[in-house]
Structure 1
Amino acid sequence: MPSCPRCDAPVGEEARYCAQCGAPQTEDAAEELDEYVQRQAEQVAGSGGGGSGGTESSASDAFPSTEDLTDREQLWRRGSYVLGYGTIVVALTRVPAAESWPLLLGGIAILPPIRRLTAEPLGSPLKREVMAGIYAVFALIGIALFVLL
Protein backbone atom coordinates (compact mmCIF):
# COMPACT_ATOMS: atom_id res chain seq x y z
CA MET A 1 0.00 0.00 0.00
CA PRO A 2 1.46 3.41 -0.96
CA SER A 3 1.99 6.16 1.60
CA CYS A 4 1.52 9.92 1.46
CA PRO A 5 4.74 11.78 0.58
CA ARG A 6 3.84 14.56 3.02
CA CYS A 7 2.77 12.73 6.17
CA ASP A 8 3.64 9.06 5.45
CA ALA A 9 0.08 7.94 6.19
CA PRO A 10 -1.16 4.95 4.19
CA VAL A 11 -3.34 5.90 1.21
CA GLY A 12 -5.37 3.73 -1.14
CA GLU A 13 -4.30 3.00 -4.71
CA GLU A 14 -7.14 5.10 -6.18
CA ALA A 15 -6.98 7.95 -3.62
CA ARG A 16 -6.67 11.42 -5.08
CA TYR A 17 -6.02 13.09 -1.71
CA CYS A 18 -4.56 11.90 1.59
CA ALA A 19 -7.21 11.26 4.23
CA GLN A 20 -4.86 12.47 7.00
CA CYS A 21 -3.34 15.71 5.68
CA GLY A 22 -5.29 16.39 2.46
CA ALA A 23 -2.22 16.43 0.20
CA PRO A 24 -2.92 15.61 -3.46
CA GLN A 25 -1.69 12.15 -4.48
CA THR A 26 -1.85 12.50 -8.27
CA GLU A 27 -0.78 15.14 -10.76
CA ASP A 28 -4.42 15.71 -11.75
CA ALA A 29 -5.40 16.27 -8.13
CA ALA A 30 -2.48 18.70 -7.66
CA GLU A 31 -3.51 20.68 -10.76
CA GLU A 32 -7.14 20.69 -9.62
CA LEU A 33 -6.07 22.01 -6.20
CA ASP A 34 -3.89 24.71 -7.81
CA GLU A 35 -6.77 25.85 -10.01
CA TYR A 36 -9.13 25.94 -7.01
CA VAL A 37 -6.67 28.00 -4.95
CA GLN A 38 -6.15 30.39 -7.87
CA ARG A 39 -9.92 30.88 -8.31
CA GLN A 40 -10.33 31.53 -4.59
CA ALA A 41 -7.47 34.07 -4.60
CA GLU A 42 -8.95 35.89 -7.59
CA GLN A 43 -12.38 35.92 -5.96
CA VAL A 44 -11.02 37.37 -2.71
CA ALA A 45 -8.88 39.93 -4.53
CA GLY A 46 -11.73 40.92 -6.82
CA SER A 47 -14.32 41.31 -4.10
CA GLY A 48 -12.19 43.15 -1.57
CA GLY A 49 -12.36 40.33 0.93
CA GLY A 50 -16.01 39.40 0.54
CA GLY A 51 -19.35 40.68 -0.58
CA SER A 52 -22.19 39.82 -2.89
CA GLY A 53 -22.09 39.37 -6.63
CA GLY A 54 -22.94 42.91 -7.75
CA THR A 55 -20.48 44.68 -5.48
CA GLU A 56 -17.35 42.98 -6.79
CA SER A 57 -16.58 45.51 -9.50
CA SER A 58 -17.39 48.51 -7.32
CA ALA A 59 -15.22 47.23 -4.48
CA SER A 60 -12.21 46.80 -6.77
CA ASP A 61 -12.82 50.27 -8.26
CA ALA A 62 -13.14 51.91 -4.84
CA PHE A 63 -9.98 50.24 -3.52
CA PRO A 64 -7.33 50.11 -6.23
CA SER A 65 -4.29 47.91 -5.87
CA THR A 66 -1.09 49.40 -4.47
CA GLU A 67 0.41 49.67 -7.97
CA ASP A 68 -2.51 51.90 -9.07
CA LEU A 69 -2.08 54.39 -6.23
CA THR A 70 -0.24 57.66 -6.62
CA ASP A 71 2.72 58.45 -4.39
CA ARG A 72 0.54 60.74 -2.27
CA GLU A 73 -2.10 58.04 -1.80
CA GLN A 74 0.53 55.46 -0.87
CA LEU A 75 2.01 57.91 1.64
CA TRP A 76 -1.47 58.50 3.10
CA ARG A 77 -2.09 54.75 3.41
CA ARG A 78 1.29 54.08 5.04
CA GLY A 79 0.89 57.03 7.40
CA SER A 80 -2.58 55.81 8.37
CA TYR A 81 -1.21 52.39 9.25
CA VAL A 82 1.64 53.85 11.30
CA LEU A 83 -0.59 56.34 13.11
CA GLY A 84 -3.36 53.80 13.69
CA TYR A 85 -1.19 50.99 14.97
CA GLY A 86 0.93 53.42 17.01
CA THR A 87 -2.18 54.77 18.70
CA ILE A 88 -3.46 51.26 19.36
CA VAL A 89 -0.16 50.29 20.98
CA VAL A 90 -0.23 53.39 23.21
CA ALA A 91 -3.85 52.66 24.14
CA LEU A 92 -3.06 49.05 25.00
CA THR A 93 -0.32 50.17 27.39
CA ARG A 94 -2.94 52.16 29.31
CA VAL A 95 -5.83 49.65 29.14
CA PRO A 96 -7.15 49.98 32.71
CA ALA A 97 -7.33 53.77 32.38
CA ALA A 98 -10.38 55.52 30.92
CA GLU A 99 -8.41 57.33 28.21
CA SER A 100 -7.31 54.09 26.60
CA TRP A 101 -10.71 53.28 25.08
CA PRO A 102 -11.15 56.42 22.96
CA LEU A 103 -7.52 56.11 21.83
CA LEU A 104 -8.11 52.48 20.89
CA LEU A 105 -11.23 53.40 18.90
CA GLY A 106 -9.39 56.26 17.20
CA GLY A 107 -6.50 54.00 16.24
CA ILE A 108 -8.89 51.49 14.74
CA ALA A 109 -10.87 54.20 12.92
CA ILE A 110 -7.84 55.53 11.01
CA LEU A 111 -6.76 52.13 9.65
CA PRO A 112 -7.35 51.81 5.88
CA PRO A 113 -9.16 48.43 6.09
CA ILE A 114 -11.90 50.12 8.15
CA ARG A 115 -12.85 52.13 5.06
CA ARG A 116 -13.32 48.87 3.20
CA LEU A 117 -15.37 47.34 6.02
CA THR A 118 -17.66 50.35 6.30
CA ALA A 119 -18.14 50.69 2.53
CA GLU A 120 -20.68 47.89 2.14
CA PRO A 121 -23.15 48.85 4.90
CA LEU A 122 -22.88 52.57 4.10
CA GLY A 123 -23.07 52.14 0.33
CA SER A 124 -19.72 53.80 -0.35
CA PRO A 125 -16.42 54.14 1.49
CA LEU A 126 -15.93 57.05 3.84
CA LYS A 127 -13.50 59.65 2.61
CA ARG A 128 -10.02 59.69 4.08
CA GLU A 129 -10.70 63.10 5.58
CA VAL A 130 -13.74 61.74 7.43
CA MET A 131 -11.68 58.86 8.82
CA ALA A 132 -8.98 61.34 9.93
CA GLY A 133 -11.67 63.48 11.58
CA ILE A 134 -13.06 60.50 13.47
CA TYR A 135 -9.51 59.66 14.57
CA ALA A 136 -8.93 63.26 15.71
CA VAL A 137 -12.14 63.33 17.76
CA PHE A 138 -11.33 60.05 19.54
CA ALA A 139 -7.69 61.06 20.08
CA LEU A 140 -8.71 64.43 21.55
CA ILE A 141 -11.20 62.74 23.88
CA GLY A 142 -8.51 60.27 24.97
CA ILE A 143 -5.95 63.04 25.55
CA ALA A 144 -8.50 65.14 27.45
CA LEU A 145 -9.33 62.19 29.70
CA PHE A 146 -5.60 61.60 30.27
CA VAL A 147 -5.09 65.23 31.32
CA LEU A 148 -8.24 65.43 33.45
CA LEU A 149 -7.96 62.07 35.18
Structure 2
Amino acid sequence: MASCPRCEASIDDEARFCAECGAPQTEDAAEELDEYVQRQAEEVAGAGSTDGGNAESNAFPSKEELTDRQQLWRRGCYVAGYGTVVVALTLVPAVGAFPLILAGIAILPPIRRLTAEPLGSPLKREVMAGLYAIFAVIGAALLFLL
Protein backbone atom coordinates (compact mmCIF):
# COMPACT_ATOMS: atom_id res chain seq x y z
CA MET A 1 0.00 0.00 0.00
CA ALA A 2 1.14 3.48 -0.87
CA SER A 3 0.67 6.60 1.22
CA CYS A 4 -0.68 9.95 0.13
CA PRO A 5 2.09 12.55 -0.18
CA ARG A 6 -0.29 15.24 1.07
CA CYS A 7 -1.90 13.71 4.17
CA GLU A 8 0.11 10.49 4.47
CA ALA A 9 -3.01 8.31 4.66
CA SER A 10 -2.63 4.81 3.28
CA ILE A 11 -4.21 4.38 -0.15
CA ASP A 12 -4.44 1.65 -2.76
CA ASP A 13 -1.67 1.49 -5.32
CA GLU A 14 -4.18 1.97 -8.16
CA ALA A 15 -6.10 4.88 -6.54
CA ARG A 16 -6.30 8.04 -8.60
CA PHE A 17 -7.33 10.25 -5.67
CA CYS A 18 -6.77 10.01 -1.93
CA ALA A 19 -9.91 8.88 -0.09
CA GLU A 20 -9.03 11.08 2.91
CA CYS A 21 -8.01 14.45 1.44
CA GLY A 22 -8.93 14.11 -2.25
CA ALA A 23 -5.44 14.89 -3.52
CA PRO A 24 -4.68 13.47 -7.00
CA GLN A 25 -2.24 10.57 -6.95
CA THR A 26 -1.31 10.40 -10.65
CA GLU A 27 -0.44 12.96 -13.31
CA ASP A 28 -3.60 12.11 -15.24
CA ALA A 29 -5.73 12.66 -12.14
CA ALA A 30 -4.01 15.99 -11.49
CA GLU A 31 -4.67 17.14 -15.08
CA GLU A 32 -8.30 15.98 -14.82
CA LEU A 33 -8.71 17.95 -11.58
CA ASP A 34 -7.14 21.06 -13.16
CA GLU A 35 -9.51 20.84 -16.15
CA TYR A 36 -12.50 20.43 -13.83
CA VAL A 37 -11.49 23.44 -11.73
CA GLN A 38 -10.95 25.48 -14.92
CA ARG A 39 -14.44 24.59 -16.21
CA GLN A 40 -16.02 25.48 -12.87
CA ALA A 41 -14.21 28.82 -12.79
CA GLU A 42 -15.39 29.63 -16.34
CA GLU A 43 -18.99 28.73 -15.45
CA VAL A 44 -18.91 30.93 -12.35
CA ALA A 45 -17.33 33.80 -14.27
CA GLY A 46 -19.87 33.40 -17.10
CA ALA A 47 -22.83 33.44 -14.69
CA GLY A 48 -21.75 36.76 -13.22
CA SER A 49 -21.40 38.61 -16.52
CA THR A 50 -24.03 41.10 -17.64
CA ASP A 51 -24.15 39.75 -21.18
CA GLY A 52 -25.54 36.45 -19.90
CA GLY A 53 -29.03 37.90 -20.12
CA ASN A 54 -29.63 37.90 -16.39
CA ALA A 55 -32.44 40.37 -15.75
CA GLU A 56 -31.54 40.76 -12.09
CA SER A 57 -28.03 41.96 -12.89
CA ASN A 58 -29.50 44.63 -15.17
CA ALA A 59 -32.06 45.72 -12.58
CA PHE A 60 -29.42 45.95 -9.86
CA PRO A 61 -26.16 47.32 -11.21
CA SER A 62 -22.98 46.78 -9.26
CA LYS A 63 -21.61 49.59 -7.11
CA GLU A 64 -19.09 50.53 -9.81
CA GLU A 65 -21.91 50.98 -12.37
CA LEU A 66 -23.92 53.40 -10.19
CA THR A 67 -23.80 57.12 -10.81
CA ASP A 68 -22.87 59.47 -7.98
CA ARG A 69 -26.53 60.38 -7.54
CA GLN A 70 -27.57 56.73 -7.29
CA GLN A 71 -24.81 56.01 -4.77
CA LEU A 72 -25.90 59.01 -2.71
CA TRP A 73 -29.51 57.77 -2.81
CA ARG A 74 -28.44 54.29 -1.71
CA ARG A 75 -26.32 55.62 1.15
CA GLY A 76 -29.12 57.91 2.26
CA CYS A 77 -31.56 54.99 2.27
CA TYR A 78 -29.22 52.95 4.45
CA VAL A 79 -28.77 55.84 6.89
CA ALA A 80 -32.50 56.59 7.05
CA GLY A 81 -33.46 52.93 7.29
CA TYR A 82 -31.00 51.85 9.95
CA GLY A 83 -31.44 55.10 11.86
CA THR A 84 -35.20 54.67 11.96
CA VAL A 85 -34.92 51.03 13.04
CA VAL A 86 -32.48 51.89 15.84
CA VAL A 87 -34.67 54.72 17.12
CA ALA A 88 -37.76 52.49 16.90
CA LEU A 89 -36.05 49.67 18.80
CA THR A 90 -35.41 52.04 21.70
CA LEU A 91 -39.17 52.70 21.79
CA VAL A 92 -40.28 49.06 21.40
CA PRO A 93 -42.83 48.92 24.23
CA ALA A 94 -44.73 51.78 22.58
CA VAL A 95 -47.24 50.87 19.88
CA GLY A 96 -45.84 53.45 17.44
CA ALA A 97 -42.46 51.72 17.37
CA PHE A 98 -43.66 48.88 15.18
CA PRO A 99 -44.69 51.01 12.17
CA LEU A 100 -41.35 52.85 12.55
CA ILE A 101 -39.51 49.52 12.36
CA LEU A 102 -41.47 48.68 9.20
CA ALA A 103 -40.61 52.11 7.79
CA GLY A 104 -36.90 51.57 8.40
CA ILE A 105 -37.01 48.16 6.79
CA ALA A 106 -39.04 49.39 3.81
CA ILE A 107 -36.46 51.99 2.77
CA LEU A 108 -33.41 49.67 2.89
CA PRO A 109 -32.01 48.93 -0.59
CA PRO A 110 -31.84 45.12 -0.11
CA ILE A 111 -35.64 45.11 0.24
CA ARG A 112 -35.86 46.06 -3.44
CA ARG A 113 -34.04 42.84 -4.31
CA LEU A 114 -36.21 40.77 -2.00
CA THR A 115 -39.44 42.15 -3.45
CA ALA A 116 -38.26 41.80 -7.05
CA GLU A 117 -38.70 38.03 -7.24
CA PRO A 118 -42.29 37.68 -5.96
CA LEU A 119 -43.48 40.85 -7.70
CA GLY A 120 -41.68 40.22 -10.98
CA SER A 121 -39.76 43.49 -10.90
CA PRO A 122 -38.18 45.61 -8.19
CA LEU A 123 -40.17 48.36 -6.56
CA LYS A 124 -39.19 51.82 -7.72
CA ARG A 125 -37.26 54.05 -5.34
CA GLU A 126 -40.19 56.42 -5.16
CA VAL A 127 -42.47 53.59 -3.99
CA MET A 128 -39.93 52.62 -1.33
CA ALA A 129 -39.71 56.24 -0.16
CA GLY A 130 -43.51 56.45 -0.14
CA LEU A 131 -43.79 53.32 2.01
CA TYR A 132 -41.19 54.76 4.35
CA ALA A 133 -43.11 58.03 4.64
CA ILE A 134 -46.44 56.30 5.26
CA PHE A 135 -45.10 53.99 7.97
CA ALA A 136 -43.07 56.79 9.56
CA VAL A 137 -46.07 59.11 9.74
CA ILE A 138 -48.26 56.34 11.19
CA GLY A 139 -45.57 55.46 13.73
CA ALA A 140 -44.96 59.06 14.74
CA ALA A 141 -48.69 59.72 15.05
CA LEU A 142 -49.14 56.67 17.27
CA LEU A 143 -46.23 57.73 19.45
CA PHE A 144 -47.59 61.23 19.93
CA LEU A 145 -51.25 60.26 20.31
CA LEU A 146 -50.84 57.29 22.63
Give the TM-score normalised by the residue count of structure 2.
0.71
Question: Alignment RMSD, CA only?
Answer: 3.2
- Is structure 2 residue 85 aligned with structure 1 residue 92? no
The CA deviation string for residues 67-99 of structure 1, in whole angstroms up to 9 with x for no partner, is 111110000001001111111111112222211
Looking at structure 1, the residues matched to 90 and 84 of structure 2 have their Cα atoms a distance apart, in angstroms, of 10
- Is structure 2 residue 47 aligned with structure 1 residue 78? no
CA contact (8 A) 1:81 1:110 kept: yes
Matches within 5 A, 1:1-149: 12=11, 25=23, 36=40, 39-40=43-44, 43=47, 45=48, 57-149=54-146
In the alignment, structure 1 segments of 5+ residues that lack a partner are: 48-55
Looking at structure 1, the residues matched to 100 and 5 of structure 2 have their Cα atoms a distance apart, in angstroms, of 55
Looking at structure 2, the residues matched to 141 and 77 of structure 1 have their Cα atoms a distance apart, in angstroms, of 24
In our comparison, the structure showing a higher alpha carbon Rg is 2
CA contact (8 A) 2:4 2:11 kept: yes
The CA deviation string for residues 30-87 of structure 1, in whole angstroms up to 9 with x for no partner, is 88568647755764x569xxxxxxxx62111111111111110000001001111111
Give the share of equivalent positions with the same residue, in percent.
Answer: 54
CA contact (8 A) 1:106 1:136 kept: yes
Looking at structure 2, the residues matched to 84 and 11 of structure 1 have their Cα atoms a distance apart, in angstroms, of 57
The CA deviation string for residues 71-129 of structure 1, in whole angstroms up to 9 with x for no partner, is 10000001001111111111112222211110111111001111111112222211101
In the alignment, structure 2 segments of 5+ residues that lack a partner are: 25-29
CA contact (8 A) 1:46 1:59 kept: no
Q: How many residues in Structure 1 have an aligned counterpart in Structure 2?
A: 135
Of stretches 84-93 and 72-81 in structure 1, the one that deviates more from structure 2 is 84-93
1:139 Cα offset (Å): 0.6
The CA deviation string for residues 3-38 of structure 1, in whole angstroms up to 9 with x for no partner, is 977xx9x5757585785xxx7645765885686477
Which portions of structure 1, spanning 4 or more consecutive aligned residues, are displaced by more than 2 angstroms? 1-5, 10-19, 23-43
CA contact (8 A) 2:96 2:140 kept: yes
